[in-house]
A and B are shown apart, each in its own frame.
Chain A
């Protein structure tokens, strides 16, 4: 039973990567020789993937052009090895504990960008959107409520409120619901003056980001301007708006405790353990239950041994990290610093939420479909405009939160917060992690791993003052190029060319 279809399929190498939200079935693993066996119905569906299969399948996937997270993790290890030679402080607990605070803003912006990149679009303005949102929140705290007016530009407040209401209406018209709801929450916060408190002010920043995202998504998805142009224009424009919002005076945020703690604070050791057990333990339990249930129903499933091994490794690593993090890592004997940094747990929690949204909801499925083939999605009855608007809304909201993290890390909202290379670093993080710029392929996980790669470079260089800072951009550029080359090569191989 060697018919031409199975043969040509075997020749194509079983390309591509996992479809979103499913454990992979490796069509590549058999190689051309096994076409006879595969021709007999859904043989792979009832197979159980064990550890051996998983490794073999993984190796085949790497060869056939889907390296997954491997290159970025390898890169991380190589960079860590190099920098541990540059300075013996690099692998110290104190330095590693600082990494999340230094990189959380990139991780958060990159998380939002993944949604936009999955559509094959780009949001160049996510960084400067973060600038205006953090700027507005800082000014609100500074003025004990933004409704008391923005110094030097009191008219601006009512413009902001009016535009937010307009964005909410536009969002509803485009059949988005969550985005407009978030925007309206922000409007209520500022109109009631709650934004003189830190937490509501930060929520206000996020909702301002959502409003920006609805406009951006409308311009791209409905009006039809290429996202590169729309967001390039906004990238420039927001830098000017930030100057108005700040009245050309930087505003420090170290005095606002929650804001300061975002990049500098840690969870208590007890809560660190709770977080680790819930996240890593929860993952283990979830994958085990999924495997057992799928096997019981005769669906394609991963073997229990594989699931236990993988979840066990993740849990073990997480436990070791938490145990180390709960030791005092302060070199200064007068104050104890321990616990998992908020700048680590917040991005990881967001990553989990994003992953669930992308793989377990209809909306996420439709986002992947639109990114893979927009016309096919449209013909399947998917409202492509709606999907684009929601993706940009998420991108800008995360951009806003990223701006808040950045202000926390640098101590305040500077006049150029979010401009410069920041957005490009976030794009690089997503790409280094494995997200494709061409749409249809990417994971929230990529943003976190990529951000770690990006932030480790200036950190390592900064530890030896004799190294010129100019190396930072050169190394980052080289790493990005390597990541993009891996991506291009894998796509070439998976296309069978």
Chain B
């Protein structure tokens, strides 16, 4: 296996007295889907926001393409080629699809917004993702369904030839058909060579699209397993008790709780 494209080492994060992340390690490889799983409140979204630079890190290291990096805000992450689709979708309702996809990175010509070019590129990106459900890239996001918004958010993340994409529960609010589409999309992204991190509570989805699974238990990494060597039952056990058979956290750490 090749070098990891992104590595998080011994990351710690506290919110005041609450120690949300303990020495968390996460490894992301090119062309692979890494699933990040854990119960509600395990710290998955917090980990993502720490990597995005939305939340500050108390200690720990982020290594990107072999070099340690510090990411102070989302645009620095974007500059590195790391993109995020947040659980609480970050789209502006009053802007249209194109405007949202280019938000913060608008194309300009002679200092003036180049709307035509942006519209074309937005359409190309959606087409390359085989998105067929939005009729116009000039539609206001307020008028989109949940699945369409999710699609826009994902398209926004891959518009920039990004190298790593984090998807925080992208299918949580979706119906059967849209979930199918998003999962296919996730797999396609990895097949195109991106490193993909998928956060999900649905173990069947995880087993289907992910290559590797990192399980968080109360802010600690319980285990990192390959999906092909693992089962739904084992992952569920890791999520709920932090241990499964001989892998997982030491019993002491499990009992200690937070």
Contact = CB atoms under 8 A, between A and B. Distances in A.
Interface string A282-299: 000000000001100101
A22 B96 contact: yes
A19 B140 contact: yes
B90 interface: yes
A293 B127 CA distance: 23
Given A4-B175, A15-B140, A42-B136, A361 B145 contact: no
Interface string A354-391: 00000111100110110111011111111000000000
Nearest to A294: B116
B113 A365 contact: yes
A441 interface: yes
Contacts of B88: 375
Interface stretch (B5-13, B102-110, B206-214): B102-110
Contacts of A362: 106, 108, 113
Nearest to A495: B142
Nearest to A41: B132
Nearest to B107: A362
Contacts of B119: 45, 299-300
Indicate the size class of the contact surface on chain A: 35 or more
Contacts of B136: 25, 27, 42-45, 300
B135 A380 contact: no
A494 interface: yes
Interface stretch (B73-81, B223-231, B235-243): B73-81
B84 to A, nearest CB: 8
B115 interface: yes
Nearest to B140: A16
B148 A382 contact: no
Contact of B116 (A38, A42, A299): A299
B257 to A, nearest CB: 31
Interface of A: 3-6, 8-9, 12-22, 24-25, 27-28, 38-45, 293-294, 297, 299-300, 359-362, 365-366, 368-369, 371-373, 375-382, 440-441, 494
B203 interface: no
B133 A369 contact: no
B54 interface: yes
A450 to B, nearest CB: 20
B144 interface: yes
Interface string B45-82: 00000001010000000000000000001110010000
A9 to B, nearest CB: 5
Given A375-B90, A376-B103, A494-B142, A368 B137 contact: no
Contacts of A366: 103-104
Contacts of B135: 6, 27, 38-39, 41-45
